[in-house]
Amino acid sequence: MGSYCNVELPVFELMLIAKVLSDNLNQGMNGELALYNLTITEFKVIRLLLLTDREWTMTELSEELACAPSQISRIANRLVESGLLSRRRLMSDRRVTPLVLTEQGLELATRMHESIKTYESKISQGISAQDLNTCMSVIEKVLSHNRPYSQRRRRQP
């Protein structure tokens, strides 16, 4: 993979670059999170609870993180068992059990947040804010122009 300035990116080359980038970032994040014995999705749940400072139901988490409800349920169970989250039953509907960070979860989330910020600084070292913004803008444009193939092939009534 070389420099692609002023050159059209063939779709397969773009896919390769995206795959390598995704794999590389996932590997780096997994390395950071291994220090806390967490997966990326578990981190996303904890981070969401930290940043929003509110309770979330399993359904809300599933929708927000685009995960299957069964996956969120397993993650919640593991995080509750490890003391990082707690469940609360609503008096109005006992079937709903919002999740909230415990004190231990809040402390860990704060440490992890700092660790991830350090990792992000490390991987973006030498890249200007303007370059990062341009990269994000281009990616967003490509994504906005790329509808799933099945949607493009549907016949209009």
Statement: residue 153 has pLDDT above 60:
no
Place of tokens 């599933």: 62
pLDDT tens profile 103-129: 999 999 989 888 889 999 999 999 999
For the chain, give the percent of residues with pLDDT over 70.
87
The 10 Å Cβ neighbour count of residue 112 is 19
The pair of three-digit structure tokens given for residue 22, joined into one six-digit string: 């995704």
Q: What span, in angstroms and rounded, lies between the C-alpha atoms of 129 and 137? A: 12
* Residue among 131, 134, 130, 118 nearest 28 (CA): 118
Task: Report DSSP state, residue 56.
Answer: B
Query: CA distances (Å), 12 to each of 5, 15, 157, in order?
Result: 17, 5, 32
Dihedral sign, CA of 47, 37, 58, 56? negative
pLDDT digits (tens, 9 = 90+) for 14-33: 888 889 999 999 999 999 99
Query: What is the number of other CB atoms lying within 10 angstroms of the CB of residue 131?
Result: 11
CB 44 within 8 A of CB 85: no
Cβ(112)–Cβ(48) below 8 Å:
no
Helix (H, G, I), strand (E, B) or coil at 146: coil
State if pTM tops 0.85.
Answer: no
pLDDT band, very low/low/confident/very high, at 154 (cuts 50, 70, 90): very low
State the pLDDT at residue 152: 46
Residue 37 pLDDT more than 80?
yes
The residue type found at 92 is S
Q: Is the pLDDT of residue 5 over 60?
A: no
Report residue 135 as tokens: 């990269």
